[in-house]
Each structure stands twice: as C-alpha cells, then as structure tokens.
Amino acid sequence: MSEKKKGLTRREFLRKTGGAATLAGVGAGGLMLSPMMARADEAPKKWDESYDVVVIGSGFAGLAAAIEARQAGSSVMVMEKMAVPGGNSIINGGVIAAAGSPLQTRAGIKDTPDLLLEDMLKAGLYLNHLDLAGKVAEKSNEVVQWTIDFLGTQYQENLVHLGGHSVPRSYSTFNHSGSAIVLQQIAKLKAMGENVKTKRFLETFIRDKEGRIIGIRMQDGYRFPKGGGAVRFVQAKKAVILATGGFSADLPFRSIQDPKLTRDVDTTNQPGATAEGLLEALRIGATPVQISWIQLGPWASPDEKGFGIGPHFAAGAAFPYGVMVDPKTGLRFINELADRKIRADAILKTGHPCVVLADSQGVAKIAPLLPKQIERGVVKKFDTLDALAASYGIPAGSLRETVGNYNGFIKNGEDKEFGKYLQKDVKPIGQAPFYAMRVWPKVHHTMGGIQINTQAQPLDLDHRPIPGLYAAGEIAGGVHGAVRLGSCAVIDCLVFGRIAGQNAAAEKVRS
Ligand SMILES: Cc1cc2nc3c(=O)[nH]c(=O)nc-3n(C[C@H](O)[C@H](O)[C@H](O)COP(=O)(O)OP(=O)(O)OC[C@H]3O[C@@H](n4cnc5c(N)ncnc54)[C@H](O)[C@@H]3O)c2cc1C
C-alpha cells in the first residue's frame, strides 16, 4: 500500500505511531524488519534540534568521541537509549591493555606494540584487519596514559596477566570496573557543558540528496524495551558518530548469527546491548564484517547472573596462579591462559561446569574482592584440597596428583603439560586456605560489526566512506578478528572513539 493511499505522508505516519521502532516491533531485543525502515529518511522541513556532532551511545567510544569533538570546539549531543548512561562500559571489568607501559618497565617486563599486535592476530585467527588492530596496538599505551593524565582515572599498581597475552600488560582500575573511566569521561563532558541525554533512541539516519548523513530521527522519552517516545528530528551539521556497542544481549539477532546462542546461554552484557544501531547502519549500506564471531567468556560463573563478581577470581587469581580442572576427572584439560575461545570451547566440550582454584597465595592480588565473592556463594573457601574436591565431587586423589604435577612444573619453570606462561611471582599451590569457583561460559563480546577504516569512517558496499558518518567501539568490526583478547576492547573503543570525535569535529559545517 502506498503512503498516499493511507492518507498520510510517511513522516506523519511515523509521528502518529511513535516511530519506526514501535512500528517495526523493536523491543525486548527483538528486531523485525519493516520495508519502511529499509532506507534512510529524507530531511524534515524543520529540525527539532541542531548540533555540529551527534553521538549515539554513551559508552567508552561515544564518550571519548564526544570529549574530542567538544574539545575541538564543536557543539555536541550524546544520546543514550537507556535510562542510565554508560552501556557495557560502565559495568566493564576495568582491565585495559597497554604495550610498553611504565608499569611494565617498573616490573622489568619487556613488551612492544608489535608483540601485542602479534597476540591479537594469533587469538583473532588472523582474521583481524591489520591496519585497525595495528592502530589499537600502537596507541594502547598512549590511550591508557590519556585516561590517567587527562581523565584522572586511577589504577592498581600491579599488572594483570590475561589469557592469550604473552606477557602481563593489563592495567586494572582501582575499583575493578570500567566505571572508573566512564564516570571520569562523563565528568569531563559535564565540565565542558555537556550532559548525556538518556532515553533517546536512534531510529534511523537522515541523508541528503548526495547521500551524506545530515541527521537522525530519534525517539525522545524512549523506554527500553517498549519505546513510546516522541519522534524528533536532530540535525548533525558536521557528522553523526555511531557508538551503539555490541549485540550480545540481542537474543534473536545473536542466535541468527550463531544458532548455538539460544536463550539457555546467559550473557554478561547489559540488557540494552542489542543490535538496532548496527541494523540501521546496514540499512544505509555499511559493510558488515565478521558478525557471526561472538565471544563467550570462559571465566563466568553459573552461580550468579550476568558478569557478576566471579570473573575477577577466575581471571585475576585462579587462571594465572592456580589451575582449572574437569570435576569428573580432577585433571587439567587446557592452558588456563589460552585465549578466550580456546578455553570456552574446552569447557563446553566437557559438557558441564568446570572448577578453577587457587590457594591463599594465589588470591593475594584480588584479596579485597574475596569476602563478597564468598558471601554471594560464587567462590568457596576450604581448609584442605580434599575438602574442596569433596564439595565439587572431584576424585580427591586425582586432584592431589594434578596439583602435585603442576607444582613440579612451577619448580622447574615450565608447564610441560599445556605450556602455560608462568608468572614471575607464581608459587606452588599448597598454602591453605584454598578457594574455588565453578565456571561455565556466557555470551560476552561481539567481534563483528560494520567495517571502518583507520579514520573511523564506516565504508559502504563499494568501499567508500559514508559521508557524514563515523563509527567506533564494539559496533565496528574487524579489529579483533575471530577472538578478542581480554582488556583489548577498552583500548579499541577509546582509540577509535577519539579518532571519530577528532575527525567529526574537523568536518565542514553544513546547514
Ligand atoms: C561485564 C563486561 C565486562 C567487560 N570487561 C572488559 C574489560 O575489563 N576490559 C575490556 O577491554 N573489555 C571488557 N568488556 C568489553 C567492553 O566493555 C565493551 O566492548 C565496551 O564497553 C563497548 O563499549 P562501546 O562504547 O562500544 O559500547 P557500550 O559501552 O555498550 O555503549 C553503547 C551504548 O549505546 C546504547 N545504544 C544502543 N543502541 C542505541 C540506539 N538505537 N539509540 C541510542 N543508544 C543506543 C546502548 O544502550 C549503550 O549504552 C567487558 C564487557 C562486559 C559486558
């Protein structure tokens, strides 16, 4: 049926119905395509609001972009569909990679951006776009120092050694949370006169006749996931920056990409980590990249919902300083510091949750977090290894033998079984009490997204930048290839967020 026949123009229709999201059934992470959404809108007769730069999404990437654009003198609007700003970034674990950092120099660890790049490529199965991954590795130390010097983020004094990295290189925020960065970003923006505008949902892009993105149609007063906000048209006189994150919480979309990721698989992500922003970009002809590479976190606990607090025990204590065993056999079955995919696949292959453990020396670096982890029943404390074995139904003799063998490897300086990197300060497991936790993978990160170049410009199907549009953060694919290394998402988001903001601000004003 044509729009004329309905007696309404398309825009009138959308205004009356509360917008395309309602019309198309966007909600609860469910996305049904309507033919009416299959292209960008035309410019309205009158804009409701006008800014130089419009940033969609208020995580690391969007906020970094907004700060840069604002610093360069542009007027900026950062919008966020949820009622609170921060996305996944504000609930993030606060671990951030830097190659060749002052903390590494102090600890006598030799590292270079090339080595970080090599690690990223190896984990990414060499599907990474070399120019993008290289940019992130090259700027990793610079961007972490930016969080310290410019944002005032505080970090712990010790580096963390995450799986897949050949050396310890990850900074950890003082509160083990990405909020230590995000709240500083929001404060910086506020000091520059900008606040994140929440409950604002991107519906679609608006293009001029030449195909340039000149604004957006959005819902103001949006209530996730139902919608219901008022439709408004916002002009972007310089550019729009898309920073809407990944789609790990989008059950229909993620299970189209990977049918194994059904409702039964939990996610670490916030509920708003859904794919609408990505779909809008695809509708205007952005090139999709590696969308079905979806990462499961091997350090997640089945004994709590979402990300929780268990991952800090597994990743910060048990994997580097302890062992992971199959409770059926009491045996190790994988390098505890292999990349996330190798570990998650190995756990899933056992068919049941596995057990990670460390002794009192192994938990030293995460000690302040232990009381809460124990109180919530995620981590358990035992006086003996036999008591630990009994609690998880592990054959006790077998567990003792596994730990004995592993301690032998530590004494000889080489993990003969799985080739795990042994930390400089690693000690044999043996000093009570012992701590343990069950692990079972959860959907954590979507490596794919839209293709960008090193200037954070999304490319269309003819490999040309889409004029007036920039993209950064988890929405952009190709940086990490098949597998993202832990602590490399924050640097990706901040590096490309900053580039997007700088480039958007440098665009000519178009009215
Ligand atoms: C629990 C957890 C822990 C993590 N820990 C680490 C870690 O320690 N180190 C590391 O490197 N990485 C970590 N990651 C990954 C990393 O946090 C994410 O990749 C990163 O936060 C993504 O940032 P972003 O800015 O791209 O998106 P986000 O921070 O997710 O922000 C995107 C925002 O856009 C909003 N949005 C989406 N669609 C629309 C729309 N249509 N209109 C308006 N707004 C919209 C979303 O609601 C969201 O708030 C973790 C991830 C999770 C979930």
- 287: CA distance to ligand 1 center in Å? 21
Ligand 1 residue neighbourhood (C-beta within 6 Å): 56-62, 79-82, 87-89, 91-96, 178, 201-202, 243-245, 268-269, 272-273, 276-277, 307, 445, 473-474, 487-490, 493
pLDDT of residue 9 exceeding 50: no
With 0-12 CB in 10 A as exposed, 13-18 as middle and 19+ as buried, what is 209? exposed
- For residue 75, the enclosing domain spans 10-88+188-294+445-506
Q: Which token pair is 93?
A: 């674990």
State the distance between the two ends of the chain, measured CA to CA, in whole angstroms. 34
Checking 414-420 for CB contacts under 8 A at 24+ apart, the result is 415/335, 417/332, 418/332, 418/334, 418/335, 418/336, 418/338, 419/335, 420/335, 420/336, 420/337
- Per-residue confidence at 511, pLDDT binned at 50, 70, 90? confident
Query: Quick one: 212 and 78 in the same domain?
Result: yes
Percent pLDDT > 70 in the chain is: 92
Nearest CA to 360 out of 308, 426, 435, 287 is that of: 435
Residues 477 and 435 in one domain: no
Q: Which residue, by CA, sits nearest to atom 3 of ligand 1?
A: 92
Instruction: Find the mean pLDDT for residues 145-172.
Output: 96
CA torsion 362-364-366-368 (nearest 10°) is: 140
Q: Can you read off the two tokens belonging to residue 95?
A: 């671990």
Do both 390 and 471 map to the same domain? no
Query: Within 13 Å, how many C-alpha atoms sit on residue 299's CB side?
Result: 25
Q: Same domain, yes or no, for 319 and 429?
A: yes
SS3 348: helix
Between these two residues, 205 and 4, which has the higher pLDDT value?
205
Q: How many Å lie between the centroid of ligand 1 and the Cα of residue 88?
A: 3
Structural domains counted in the chain: 3
CA–centroid distance, 41 to ligand 1, in Å, is 27
For ligand 1, the distance from its centroid to the CA atom of residue 268, given in whole angstroms, is 11
- DSSP letter string over 82-126? SSSS-TTGGGS--EEE-TT-HHHHHHT----HHHHHHHHHHHTTT
Q: Residues 146, 151, 154, 160: what is their CA dihedral angle, to the nearest 10 degrees?
A: -40
Q: Are residues 415 and 341 in the same domain?
A: yes
Asked if residue 94 belongs to a domain, the reply is: yes
Residues 62 and 210 in one domain: yes
Structure-model confidence comparison of residues 206 and 28, the more confident one: 206
User: Model confidence at 35, in pLDDT bands (50, 70, 90)?
Assistant: very low
Q: Is the pLDDT of residue 370 over 60?
A: yes
The answer to whether position 1 is within a domain reads no
Atom 29 of ligand 1, nearest CA residue: 59
Ligand 1 pocket test, pick from 92, 147, 231, 369 with the greatest ligand atom count within 8 Å of Cβ, gives 92
Region 30-40: mean pLDDT is: 45
Looking at residue 421, the DSSP 8-state letter turns out to be: P
Q: Which CATH number goes with the domain that contains 37?
A: 3.50.50.60
Provide the pLDDT for residue 39: 64
Q: Is the pLDDT of residue 20 over 50?
A: no
State whether 113 and 164 are in the same domain.
yes
Across the range 221-243, mean pLDDT stands at 97
Instruction: Return the ligand 1 atom nearest residue 85 CA.
Output: 49
pLDDT in tens, 319-340: 999 999 999 999 999 999 999 9
Position 215 in a domain: yes
What is the mean predicted confidence (pLDDT) over 372-387?
98
Cα–Cα distances in Å, from 502 out to 269, 286, 307?
28, 21, 33
Catalytic residues: 340
Residue 250 DSSP SS3 = coil
Question: For residue 312, what is the domain's CATH number?
Answer: 3.90.700.10
In a domain, 5, yes or no: no
Asked if residue 201 and residue 282 are part of one domain, the reply reads: yes
For residue 199, the CA-to-ligand 1 centroid distance in Å is: 16
* pLDDT value at residue 10: 40
203 Cα nearest atom in ligand 1 = 41
Over residues 440-485, the pLDDT tens digits come to 999 999 999 999 999 999 999 999 999 999 999 999 999 999 999 9
Residue-wise pLDDT tens digits, 176-212: 999 999 999 999 999 999 999 999 999 999 999 999 9
Does 315 reside within a domain?
yes
pTM over 0.85: yes
Residue whose CA lies nearest to ligand 1 atom number 9: 487
Looking at the domain assignment, is residue 228 inside a domain?
yes
The residue to mutate among 68, 89, 119, 205, having the most atoms of ligand 1 within 8 angstroms of its beta carbon, is 89
Same domain, 321 and 384: yes
Closest ligand 1 atom, residue 63 Cα: 25
Closest approach atom of ligand 1 to CA 492: 11
What is the phi/psi pair of residue 443, to 5°? -65, 130
| Alpha carbons 243 and 224: distance in angstroms, whole number | 18
Distance 429 CA to ligand 1 centre (A): 36
pLDDT at 64 over 70: yes
| 89 Cα–ligand 1 center, Å | 5
- Which pairs from 33-36 meet CB under 8 Å and 24+ separation? 33/279, 36/10
Average pLDDT of the residues in 66-80: 98
**Confidence tier at 2 by pLDDT (50, 70, 90):** very low
Here the tokens at position 309 are: 């607090």
Q: Is the pLDDT of residue 5 over 70?
A: no
Q: Report the alpha-carbon distance of residue 434 to residue 445 in Å, rounded.
A: 31
- 328 versus 341: which is more confidently predicted? 328
The answer to whether the bond into 465 is cis (omega within 30° of 0) is no
pLDDT tens by residue, 92-149: 999 999 999 999 999 999 999 999 999 999 999 999 999 999 999 999 999 999 999 9
Residue of minimum CA distance from atom 19 in ligand 1: 489
Which atom belonging to ligand 1 lies closest to the Cα atom of 80? 44
